[in-house]
Amino acid sequence: MFKDLCHFVSVVLLASASIAAQAPLKDAGPAMPVNKFAAQNDWWKHAVIYEIYPRSYGDSNNDGTGDLNGVTRHLDHLAQLGVDAIWITPCFPSPQVDFGYDVSDYRDIDPQYGTLADFDRLVAEGKKRNIKVILDFVVNHTSDKHRWFLESAKSKNNPYRDYYVWQDGKGEGQPPNNWTSTFGGPSWTFSQNTNQWYYHFFYPQQPDLNWRNPKVEKEMFDVTRFWYQRGVYGFRLDAVDTLFEDPNLTDNPPATGTDAYGMPKQLHSYDHRPAEVHAELKKLRKVADEFPGRVLIGETWTETPAELAEYYGSTNDELQMPMYFNFTKIKQLDANEFREKVAAIESNSAHGWPVYVLSNHDIRRYIDRYGTAENKDQVAKVVSALYLTLRGSAIMYYGEEIGMENNDPKRVEDVKDVIGKKGWPQEIGRDGERTPMQWNASVNAGFNQGAPPWLPVDANYVTHNVAAETSDPHSILNWYRQLIKLRRDNPAFYEGDYVSLNEADPNTMSYLRKSKNSTAIVALNFTAQPQTITLDTASIGKSAGRVLAATDFQRKTLDFRKIVLEPYGVVIAEIGR
As measured in angstroms, the least distance from the Cβ of 436 to ligand GLC is 18
Identity of the amino acid at 235: F
As measured in angstroms, the least distance from the Cβ of 1 to ligand GLC is 7
Q: Which is nearer to ligand GLC, 138 or 492 (CB)?
A: 138
- The answer to whether 405 is a known catalytic residue is no
As measured in angstroms, the least distance from the Cβ of 428 to ligand GLC is 15
Contacts of 190 (CB under 8 A, 6+ apart): 169, 173, 175, 196, 197
Q: Assign 3-class secondary structure to 312-376.
A: HCCCCCCCCEECECHHHHCCCCCHHHHHHHHHHHHCCHHHCCCEEECCECCECCHHHHHCCCCCH
Contacts of 307 (CB under 8 A, 6+ apart): 273
Cβ atoms within 10 Å, residue 162: 16
Name the pairing type of β-strands 519-525 and 570-576: antiparallel
Q: Which is nearer to ligand GLC, 5 or 572 (CB)?
A: 5
Report the sign of the C-alpha dihedral through residues 100, 104, 106, 112, in that order.
negative
Catalytic choice (98, 238, 469, 574): 238
Q: Say which DSSP state 197 is in.
A: E
Are 542 and 556 in contact, with CB atoms under 8 Å apart? no
Q: Which is nearer to ligand GLC, 112 or 519 (CB)?
A: 112
As measured in angstroms, the least distance from the Cβ of 337 to ligand GLC is 24
Where do contacts with ligand GLC occur on this chain (CB under 6 A)? 98, 101, 138, 202, 238-239, 299, 361-362
Catalytic choice (42, 222, 290, 472): 290
- 398: helix, strand or coil: coil
As measured in angstroms, the least distance from the Cβ of 138 to ligand GLC is 6
Q: Assign 3-class secondary structure to 518-539.
A: CEEEEEEECCCCCEEECCCHHH
Instruction: Kindly list the distances between the CA atom of residue 226 and the CA atoms of 233, 282, 389, in Å, as whole numbers in the listed order.
Output: 12, 19, 35
- Measured from each CB, the residue nearest to ligand GLC is 101
What is the per-residue burial (b if ≥16 Cβ within 10 Å, else e) of 400-418?
bbbbbbbbbbeeeeebbbb
| Cα–Cα distance measured from residue 297 to residue 311, given in angstroms and rounded to the nearest whole number | 10
Q: Which is nearer to ligand GLC, 101 or 568 (CB)?
A: 101
Q: Which is nearer to ligand GLC, 207 or 496 (CB)?
A: 207
- The answer to whether 110 is a known catalytic residue is no
As measured in angstroms, the least distance from the Cβ of 362 to ligand GLC is 5
Contacts of 467 (CB under 8 A, 6+ apart): 439, 440, 441, 446
**Phi and psi dihedrals of 538, rounded to 5?**
-60, -40
As measured in angstroms, the least distance from the Cβ of 389 to ligand GLC is 27
* Residues with a known catalytic role: 238, 290
